[in-house]
Chain A
Amino acid sequence: MKKEEIQLANNSFLLKSLPLFAAALFSLSISDVLAQENKICIVVTREYPGRDPVMWDGLYAASDGKVYSALINEGESAHFYVYDPDTEKNILLCDMADFLGERGKGIRSTGKIHNKPVEDNEGNIYFVTMSNGSGPNTFDYTSWKGGHWMKYNPGKNEMEDMGLVDQGIGCYPLAIDRNRGFLYGIGFTGYFYRFDLKSRVTKNFGRVSNWDICRDIFCDDEGNVYMSNPTSQVTMYDVKKEKVCETSLRTPYDPSIFPAQLRNPMIDRTNIWRAVEWEPVDKVAYGVTCGSGSILFRFDTHDGPEGKITPLVKMCDSKFLQGDPKDIPYSTLAFAVDSRNKRVYFAPSARGFSIQRYEETYGSKEGHHLIMYDIKTDKRVDLGIMQTADGRKIFGSEAASVAPDGTVYICGQAEVKDKKSGTRMIGDIPAALHLIIYKPQMK
C-alpha cells in the first residue's frame, strides 16, 4: 500500500467517524452558541513596557504567582518580562539580543522566543531563544550564532545563558523533565534535542519532523516526551531507550476543513496538534488540534501500549459551530489547563478564513471569545467576548497560562486609548500586546 493510500484509509476512517462526532458536538454546543454568542467576558489588561508587536506561546504563570512573558520584536530582539500580581506591573527582565551580546555586530539576532517557559522543582524558569524568520532577513544567514538554553533564577534575579542549542538553531517547543533534569526541544529544521541541566550537554536525537514544526510538546510523569508531526502522527521519545520512535497514534483530524494553506505546500500545521499541556494530577495531557475546528483531545499516555487519544469537543469560536463551515481558522497557542479546578481554557481565532492567502491570528477586528472546557462535566462553555470593564476590545491572542490560584493569563492584542501607545492599527482601532487577566468565578 502506498503512503497516500494509507493516508486515505486513515482519512476514510476519520471521515466515517466524523458524522457521529459532529452530531454529538453540535447537539452539545448549539444551545451554548445561542446563549453565549453575545455575552461579555470581563477581563483586566496590563501593558508591557516595551513595544513588541507579536508573541507566540511564551507565557507562563509560575508556582510563586509571577507571570513570565516572552514578547517578540522580529528583526530586533525578543524581550522577557515578568508580571507581579502584587504590583500589577510587567517589568522587563531581559533584552535578549543585548544579553546575548548580539547588538552592534551586524549579525542576526535573537528576535524570537517561541516556547512556553518551564519551571523546575526549585522555581527556576527555563526557556529557549531563537531567530527563525525574524532575521533581520537582509543579514547574512550564517551570522546568527544559534538559540540558547536560558535559565532565570527568580530568587537571585539572575539570568543565565546555559549554552547553545546548536549552531544556528533554536527551539520552537520546550518541555522539562523535572525529575531527571532534562529540557527537550525541537529546532526549526526538525531535530529533537535534549539538554542535561546537570552536565549542560545538548544531545541531538535526530530528525523528527518536517516543516511545519510542532509548537508544543509534553513530558509525561515517566519522562517520555510526546510530539506531533505531519500528518496527524504522534512521535515519542522513549526515556528508557533514549530513542525517538513514531507511534501508530493519530491526533483527531478532519480533512474536510480547509488547511491553513491551500496553495503550497498543502501539508501544514493544520494536521498536527497546535498546543498541548501535561495535566499532572490526573496524569493525562490535554491538547488542541491546529486545524479540524480546534478539537480538544485527552491523551492518556498510560492507556494501552502506546497510549490513547480521545477527542472531546471543538474549541473553535462559537460562530463556527453553526452549519457546516469548512473555513474554521487554525488554532491559536492561547491554550492552558487548570489542573486544580479541572478546566481547559482556549482563546480561539475569530478571523474569517481566506482561501487566497495565509493569515495569522493577529490583526482581526472581530470580537474574540474565551472558551472553557469543564473536565468534570465534559462541557464546553463559551465565556463570552473578552472585553475590559471600560469597554476596550481584545483581539487575537497567542499564549495562555493558568496560575496556581486559578487566574487565567492570556497574552494578546488589546485596544489602547491612543495611537502612540499602540503597535499597530486593527481597522481604525490602535492596539498593542497586553497581559490579559481573567478571574474565573468558581462555584
Chain B
Amino acid sequence: MITAKTKISVASFLILGALWPASYIFSQDWSKPVIKNQQRVDLRDLGYPMVNEIPVNSSAITSLLTARDGIIYGGTSGDESYLFLFDPAINKVRHLGKIPGHTGIHHSLVEDKHGNIFIGTGKNMFEEVTLSRWGEGDDKLDVTLWKDIKKHFSNYPGGHLFCYLPAASNINVKLPDMNCEAEDLGMPLANNSIYALTINPQGDEIYGLTYPDGHFFIYNIALKKFTDLGEIDRQKVYHGPERQWRTLPRALICDNSGRVFMSGNNGMLMYYDPDSKKLVSTKIEVPGDYYYMQFYEDYTAVEYFAKDPKGLIYGGTTDGYLFSFDPLAMQLNNLGKVRESRRLRCITVGRDGKVYLMAGEISTTRPCQFYSYSPEPGRFETLGLLIADRSPYYYWRGQQFDCMTTGLDGTIYLGESERKSHLFLYIPAEDEF
C-alpha cells in the first residue's frame, strides 16, 4: 500500500533528481565578473614570453608611476628587483633590467623635473620573516618580534636610491639576467629598506621613509646629498593585518605647497615642513579600527596616497578605510570602508574624478577586490574581481595587487603582486553602471 508519505518522498526524490543536473551546469563557476564590459579589463605580460619576461618569483609589482610623457614605470619585488616600463604607444611591457643585490622596490618610484626616474630599493616585503617562539631572557613577545624583524634586516646592507635616465636607456633591450642602467646614488640608512618615496612639486628634492627603523630622509638631487631626520615614530606597534610587519606608513605624499604627509604615532597625520625643515605632528587621526575598551596601543597607518588635480589628497589605510584630506584646511574626512577585509592596498584618482581602490588583505581565499568612489555624490561602486578574459587566448583573475596609477589617457594601471605577475589595465567607462 502506497502511503501519502511515500508518495511525497518519491515525488521529492524525482524532483530532486530532475533538478540535479541543472544545479551542475554552473557548478564550475568559481568567480563572476562585476564589470559588465569585460573588454575594459586586460593585462600585459612583463616582457616577451619565454624570452625576456621578468622571471617568475621576481615579478610582484610593488611600485608604479606615470611619467609626464605618459610612459608607465614599474618596480618589482621577489628574488630580485626589476624595473620595467609600459609604453602605451607600443602597447607593451619591456623590462629595463634588474637591480642586483636588492629584492624589493616598495612604493618607491618618482620622477624628477628632468624626467629621470628615481628608484628606492630594499628587501622584498613578502619574504617570510622567521619568528621566534621563545624570546631571549625575560623578553616580552613584542620585544622578541622586534628583534626578529631587526635580525631579518641585519644581513641586508640597506636599500639604495638609484637614478635611471629614460632618454639614454629606454631604447636598450634587456635579457632577464642583464642589469638596469641606473646610477647608484647611495644609501639613506644601513640595514633598512627604502619603504616609500615621494618628490616635491619642483621635482628637485626627494623624500623617503625607511623600514624597519622608520627614518624620514631627504635627498637633494642637485647636491646628491642625503639628510636623515630620524625616526618618525619611536613607538613600535604591530597593528597588522600582517603579523611580521612593523606598523609604519607605507606611503608618502607631497601637497602642492611642498609639505610631505604621512601617518605617525597613534595613527595621527604628520608632515614634513620644508620651511622649518622639521617633522610636525597633528591631532588629525587617520581612520582605522580602534578598540576603545582598554589596553590597546596599536594603531593603523596609511597604505597609499593619491592626489586629485585640485590638490585634494586621498588616502587608504591598513584597516581598509578611504579618507580625503584637504591640506589647506587641514581637514580629514573619513569616507568609509568598502569591505570587511582590512587594507586598502592601493588607490588612484581617475581622469573621471573617481577614486579607484583595491581593497583586501594578503589572503588566498578572499582576494583583493576593485572598487571606485565618486566624490559626487559620495558613493562607492563595487567593480569586483579584476578578470582579464581573452579566452581562448588567455584568461587570468587578478587576486593580489599592491600599486596603482592613472595613465595620461585615463587608463588605470594596476600592479599584480604574485609569484607570476602581470600589469593589469582597466579602462573606466562613465556609463557602465
Contact = CB atoms under 8 A, between A and B. Distances in A.
B95 to A, nearest CB: 16
Contacts of B389: 264-265
Contacts of B16: 424
A255 B392 CA distance: 10
Interface in B62-90: 79
Contact of B394 (A4, A166, A359, A363): A4
Given A166-B364, A265-B391, A267-B392, A245 B56 contact: yes
Interface string A257-286: 001010011111100000000000000000
A357 B25 contact: yes
B147 interface: no
19 contacts: A3-B393, A4-B393, A146-B365, A167-B363, A187-B364, A206-B56, A206-B57, A206-B420, A208-B420, A211-B30, A245-B56, A246-B420, A261-B28, A264-B389, A266-B395, A267-B392, A357-B25, A358-B25, A419-B13
Interface of B: 10, 13-14, 16-17, 20-21, 24-28, 30-31, 45, 48-50, 56-57, 79, 340, 363-367, 389-397, 399-400, 418-420
A323 B16 CA distance: 37
B57 A243 contact: yes
A358 B23 CA distance: 11
Given A167-B365, A358-B27, A424-B16, 15 more contacts: A1-B48, A3-B49, A7-B393, A133-B28, A142-B340, A187-B365, A189-B364, A204-B364, A210-B395, A246-B420, A264-B391, A266-B391, A266-B395, A267-B391, A358-B24
B15 to A, nearest CB: 11
B56 A358 contact: no
B59 to A, nearest CB: 10
A204 B340 CA distance: 24
A47 interface: no
Contact of A6 (B25, B49, B366, B367): B49
A166 B365 contact: yes
Interface residues of A, number: 51
Q: Which of B14, B28, B30, B365 is packed against the most chain A CB atoms within 10 Å?
A: B365
Given A211-B31, A248-B50, A359-B21, A189 B57 contact: no
B397 A211 contact: yes
A425 B48 contact: no
B28 A191 contact: no
Nearest to A146: B365
B20 A363 contact: yes
Contact of B20 (A132, A244, A424): A424
Contacts, number: 114
A138 B13 CA distance: 22
Given A168-B365, A208-B419, A3 B45 contact: yes
Contacts of B48: 1
Contacts of B31: 211
Helix, strand, loop or mixed for chain B's interface?
Answer: loop
Nearest to B53: A246
A208 B364 CA distance: 12
A3 B394 contact: yes
Q: Kindly list the 9 A-B residue pairs having the minimum CB-CB distance in the complex, ordered from nearest.
A: A206-B419, A168-B365, A4-B393, A266-B391, A267-B391, A266-B392, A267-B395, A211-B30, A425-B17
Contacts of A190: 399
B419 A205 contact: yes
Contacts of A210: 395-397
Nearest to B17: A425
Nearest to B13: A419
A188 interface: yes
Contacts of B392: 231, 255, 259, 266-267
B415 to A, nearest CB: 15
A142 B363 CA distance: 12
Contacts of B45: 3
B98 to A, nearest CB: 16
Given A166-B364, A189-B399, A264-B391, A207 B420 contact: yes
A123 B340 CA distance: 44
A291 B350 CA distance: 43
Given A207-B418, A210-B397, A358 B28 contact: yes
Nearest to B57: A243
Contacts of A243: 57, 79
Given A169-B365, A205-B419, A360 B397 contact: no
Nearest to A132: B30
A212 interface: yes
A425 B394 CA distance: 39
Contacts of B27: 133, 358, 360
A230 interface: yes
Interface in A296-328: none
A111 B340 CA distance: 25
Nearest to B20: A424
Contacts of B395: 210, 230, 265-267
A167 B419 CA distance: 19
Q: Which of B16, B20, B26, B363 is packed against the most chain A CB atoms within 10 Å?
A: B20
Interface string A91-115: 0000000000000000000000000
Contacts of A255: 392
Contacts of A168: 363-366
Contacts of A211: 30-31, 397
